[in-house]
Amino acid sequence: MSAFADSLSQELAKLQEKKLHRQLRLPHGLDLSSNDYLCLSQHPQVLQGLQEGIRLYGAGSGASRLIRGHRDVFAEVEACFAEWVGAETSLLLANGFAANLGLINAIANPKTTVYTDRLNHASILDGIRLSRAKRKYYNHLDMQQLQRLCEKDAHGTAKIIVSETTFSMDGDIPDLQELLHLKQKYNAVLILDEAHALGVLGEKGAGVCHLPEYVKQDLANIDFRVYTAGKSLGLEGAFVACSQQAKDYLTNKMRTFIYSTAPMPCIAHAMLTAIPLLQSMQAERESLLQNARFLVESLQAMGYDTLDTQSQIIPVLLPDEAGALRLSQYLQERGFDIRAIRPPTVPQSRLRISVNAGIQRQDLENLLAHMRSYQAKAE
């Protein structure tokens, strides 16, 4: 065995020992772990739109959009999406990781200070790292600490504030009004990642920025909003919603856009079906969120810590990695596809339950019954 192969074996053994080793597993049982929140990945109209897109455009795009990969359907879906979320325009990319990483790398530099929630997604943190900007963490949702950090750098530095609007592992939501206030007070650029809010929260599912408590003029004060199509829209890809000037800049400076093969045009065509369909699904949104609230309250009554989730994402905190794996396996053996999430993805091991529109109240009652049985056996 070579020295390199030996080092890999040692590292894998350490992960196994700490119960942090991961393996690919196929979907199995009732979906309570994916991000397909409105079940559009299997919706007949979306599948028909995808098939139609293949007939119209073929499969792949063949090149980056600045070479030969651009299609009229990309401009069409960018305009459609921007209208939905109340932006001047938007830019379509291959996925959310590429959108966050490329955006931050394009607008930040070593003279920039980026203020990031400690629990922001890895794509955000990697974008900051790649840009070589000065990174300052603030504790999760702690607006007072964020203000103190901004105040220390009140003069002489370009600032970017970045936060998710619905955190992917905790399900909670930041104080958007305070983020807007600090952005204006300290003349910062504000980036909001709406990936897990899109389709579920806000008017017509347009995200946290479209909740009733936020007035429309707030949108103009948010420099960039990042959305993914691989969650509630049931497809793949991502959008950066921004001004026309900012889009022009990103088209010329964003490396994950410039140097990536354009998305499959058939997927963009299917988005033209998925977007209006998702907008119309208000009853499904309401049912989904009611079921999520029922599950949260029931789990809390059983003594589980679900943090401060305000969405369809429900963390069930557990004391250690081994316990998270045992409960996950117990539930999967009984037909519930719920995965254990462990460090370094999260600070504390947990089950991450995500409720989707296909879940019925009886499904959740069955899940709770099995969790009570597990508790009883563990006592």
Catalytic residue numbers, as ranges: 35, 121, 164, 168, 193, 196, 231
Give the DSSP H or E segment for 224. strand 224-228
**Number of other CB atoms surrounding residue 356 within 10 Å:** 23
Tokens of 32: 């309570």
Give the DSSP H or E segment for 159. strand 158-164
Tokens 């739109």 — which residue?
49
> CA torsion sign, 118 to 120 to 122 to 123?
negative
- CA atoms of 288 and 291, how far apart (whole Å): 5
- CA atoms of 47 and 69, how far apart (whole Å): 23
Reduced to 3 states, what is the DSSP secondary structure of residue 305?
A: coil
User: Which among 278, 190, 265, 276 is positioned nearest to 231, based on CA atoms?
Assistant: 278
Tokens 């305009």 — which residue?
79
